[in-house]
Structure 1
Amino acid sequence: MPAPTHQLIASPFLGEYLVVRPGHESGVKIKAHHYIELRQAASAGIPLPEWLLGAAARRWGLHLGDRPSSEVLLIRDPSPYGHGRASYEVNNGCNWACTHCVYGDKRHEGLAWEARERLLRILRDAGVLWIELGGGECTIDKHFPETYALAYDLGMMVEILTNGSTLFRPRMLDLLTARRPYRITMSIYGATEATFDGFTQRRGAYKKFMRGLGAAREAGLPLSLSVVITRENAHEAPAMRALAHRFASRVREYSHMSPSFSGTAEPLAQQAPEYLHNRTPFTGCDAGHTSLNVSPFGLASVCKVSRDHPIPLLKEGVAGLSRLGEIADRALQRHSGCSGCTLQKTCTTCMPLVTLYRKAGSPRDRYCQWA
């Protein structure tokens, strides 16, 4: 796959306009008339305007000279739909067997390439600029290289969620250095080989993780690390934090396990009670209105948690997403015992997640203040 030539993307995004650079998190907000100017420059093949050359040099240290705009700039067309972000579960399958995992059964299921290509173009047409590719473990999917490359080539800013077990492979490194993601997010499950391998139930998992982590850092890829703390590894929490900060500047910590997406309770049993803490109140989100989740079978839902009334994108196309906002609003409405709760304004759990906890038979104190 020859690498694309675009080094910048000019795109509408949620009622505004951005110029972003693949492989980098930061962007430059521009006015509507500047976006029109860039469209005209790219169409005519003339050099980039001076104001953008200056902005690119200041923001990214990128010096583009007088090259034609069409060689270095990809223009994203406006979309009548307002979905700027999406997560796409490439495949449910995984090469590890972590018991805390919310994906439950890890079957290697996903779309054939032709359908997947259509799906990515639908997401592009929906206005999606930032896309997260995950799973399961997305990098072991047989169509991952083509999926990743097409998302990038269509002008999407790509993040991948991976366990890191394949990042040291030359073909994977070639793919990710030729088409840089803006973020690679990996999870730390232990600071020693015994704990890590026990957590994943796979001998050699720690060695592969560390090898992939080291290879990604050596290649200069942007890393984000999640420290996942459960009953099985809580004794190594300080060492896991130290490991994370040694390799990445962006570190997140997770100790509240959720039920699986099908509502089974296995992940809840892995919670370390001493690491459960008060969370911030849930005050609403834009899921379903400006963002969406897509299952391995092309079903669009409000988010990874709220999966009721999915929209078959391959059947309905981008127009089907017009219903997603209404589905999201209904999903967030408090019902059953929550409808008259006087603590709603300080509740830390959204209604779709409450529903999963109830379905899993979780103790109420894991999700409800009344308990």
Structure 2
Amino acid sequence: MLERRKFLQHSLLGSLAVLVGKNKIQAATGLSPASMVKPVVISTWAPNSKANLAAWKILSANGRALDAIEKGIHVTEADPTDQSVGYGGLPDRDGKVTVDSCVMDEKGNCGAVMCLEHILHPVSVARLVMEKTPHVQLVGEGALKFAVSEGFEKVNLLTPEAEKAWRNWLKASKYDPMITVEHLEERNRKNKVKPGQQNNHDTIGMLAIDMSGNLSGACSTSGMAFKMNGRVGDSPIIGAGLYVDNEVGAATATGVGEEIVRVCGSHVVVEMMRNGHSPEEACKKAIERIVKRNGIEKAKELQAAFVAINKQGEVGAYSLIAGFTYAVHTPDGAYTREAKHLL
């Protein structure tokens, strides 16, 4: 009887392989052998390849995806030359550097901080919101008090270079989400951004799958340069700037946050993958929704982009206009790409 039962089990698996393929057997049986999974990490923007490298050191040592992402994002948060994330980030119109971040793990747990000042690594505070509180989001002074209570030191995030840029901006005080500012010209050149398509806002969004086949993701940003005090974009909002579903895949976003929030962009990408689209196709579908809502002419004045990874470790990206790049690290090595764009 035991041998007959084993035979029937093997026959069932064989039939499943014919009908739905090896990848979907895992979903049907609950099996997820590590030998079938290759760890992968993907992040927004080519310069974040150095953040991917820090994450890869953990992934390649059979570490958890969430741990890898947290350490990877630390690299960008602490980099004073990146003027859109953390230390060195451009301030709001009042001269204050406020940071936003969120995390989401393979179990659907999530945490976020918004309008947080004086903390070097907001992604780690977001993780503690997830792990140590009954809440998903903490903002402003409350987020700062929580961070300090957990042992984070208060630091000055405003560098002399960022302060100089802010004081130059004050001369005209022109608030334009797509304005090009002098100090970002070098970064735009590195990212191969064409004239007229530069932007002064960004984020690091990072996604990873580990050797156990589990997904996690995180975002971190200091938001739009010279924004209104208190402004929050998509980056720390679950479903907009980040979404993870361990049965399907994960997505994260960058660009004009208000537009990404309005279409719940990252959630759209994951749902499109659930419906059978590849990561690249799914990202394109979310971009199409932004265009549909705004119309082509208005959309040409914006930028938004998504990166995604599915349960099989396949990655993809798509942007609204040209100039968006992304970075990937796999067992075969690291590479950067410029994403396809719609307009």
- With structure 1 as the length reference, what TM-score do the two structures score? 0.26
Larger radius of gyration: 1
Q: Does 1 or 2 have the higher relative contact order (CA < 8 Å, sep 6+)?
A: 2
How high is the TM-score relative to the length of structure 2? 0.28
